[in-house]
């Protein structure tokens, strides 16, 4: 009897051991769809305007994938970069492989763009804390409670592009895009001069 329990335990743990790498491999295999644009380690690609995925919250990435797939994001014909994402997001309809994919992306090391921009850090910090920090966190680390993504460690070129998209009504206009609409309102409160220093501050955070 004891032997039987023992044998069952061995078989059970073997099954788990077999499954764990299988799940990890599944995420990695699905990521092959993404790496050409987002980089092998989710480091992004400025030449393709593809953002960094490494270090970003999985709940935020998941929401963006759902929004691309449901045409809540990149629904505007002017959104040429967003349109590139849509067919890939539409392939991720099954929740389980998507979960494995997000787990795999979660294993990537965050990247840094420190030193890549110029600006006034003191002004940037002041504007950032006044206009962005309440939602995105004091060091641009993001805040799950406010559904606000991490901005530190993101490609500054992508940050500028997204804010311009929000300001021009290219992103964050769909009726059902509650968080995007919230952000679009905030984007309209900054001037170009303030934005340069704000993005400089964000880029220096990581
Ligand atoms: C053909 C190039 C390309 C491929 C392939 C691609 N993406 Fe993207 N992705 C982009 C671009 C460009 C953007 C930026 C869109 C924008 O400017 O709004 C983006 C944006 C995203 C975003 C939003 C990030 C953010 O910070 O809001 C997520 C999440 C994402 N991609 C995940 C994926 C995943 C997962 C895959 C693979 C299943 C994938 N992408 C495949 C080009 C690509
Ligand atoms: C009221 C809260 C709030 C404030 C204040 C706010 N944001 Fe956001 N921001 C959000 C939310 C929520 C999202 C996620 C939108 C979504 O899910 O589509 C977001 C998204 C973004 C994005 C897109 C990130 C990506 O990966 O695509 C950028 C860039 C951004 N915010 C920059 C800023 C900057 C710069 C400021 C200050 C000028 C600011 N935000 C102020 C709530 C806020």
Let me know if residue 12 belongs to a domain. no
| Dihedral sign, Cα of residue 21, residue 52, residue 198, residue 64 | negative
149 Cα–ligand 2 center, Å: 7
Say if 16 falls within a structural domain. no
Residue 93: pLDDT band (50, 70, 90) is confident
CB of 63 closer than 6 A to ligand 2?
A: yes
In a domain, 9, yes or no: no
Asked, for residue 163, whether it belongs to a domain, the answer is: yes
36 pLDDT above the threshold of 90: yes
Count of domains observed in the chain: 1
Q: Which structural domain range is residue 88 located in?
A: 26-203
Atom 5 of ligand 2, nearest CA residue: 132
- Cα of 147 from ligand 2 centre, angstroms: 9
Q: Is the pLDDT of residue 14 over 60?
A: no
Task: Let me know if residue 3 belongs to a domain.
Answer: no
Model pLDDT, residue 3: 59
Ligand 1 centroid, distance to 56 Cα (angstroms): 13
Per-residue pLDDT tens digits for 99-152: 999 999 999 999 999 999 999 999 999 999 999 999 999 999 999 999 999 999
Whether 91 and 173 have beta carbons less than 8 Å apart is answered as: no
């Amino acid at each position: 009897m004891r032997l039987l329990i023992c044998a069952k335990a061995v078989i059970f743990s073997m099954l788990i051991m077999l499954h764990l790498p299988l799940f990890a491999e599944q995420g990695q295999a699905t990521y092959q769809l993404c790496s050409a644009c987002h980089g092998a380690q989710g480091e992004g690609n400025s030449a393709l305007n593809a953002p960094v995925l490494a270090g970003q919250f999985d709940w935020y990435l998941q929401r963006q994938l759902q929004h691309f797939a449901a045409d809540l994001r990149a629904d505007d014909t002017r959104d040429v970069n967003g349109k590139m994402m849509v067919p890939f997001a539409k392939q991720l309809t099954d929740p389980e492989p998507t979960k494995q994919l997000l787990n795999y992306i979660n294993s990537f090391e965050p990247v840094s763009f420190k030193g890549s921009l110029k600006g006034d850090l003191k002004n940037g910090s002041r504007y950032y804390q006044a206009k962005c920090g309440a939602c995105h966190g004091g060091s641009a680390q993001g805040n799950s409670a406010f559904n606000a993504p991490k901005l530190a460690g993101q490609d500054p070129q992508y940050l500028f592009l997204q804010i311009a998209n929000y300001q021009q009504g290219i992103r964050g206009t769909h009726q059902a895009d509650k968080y995007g609409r919230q952000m679009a309102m905030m984007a309209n409160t900054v001037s170009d001069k303030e934005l340069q220093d704000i993005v400089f501050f964000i880029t220096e955070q990581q």
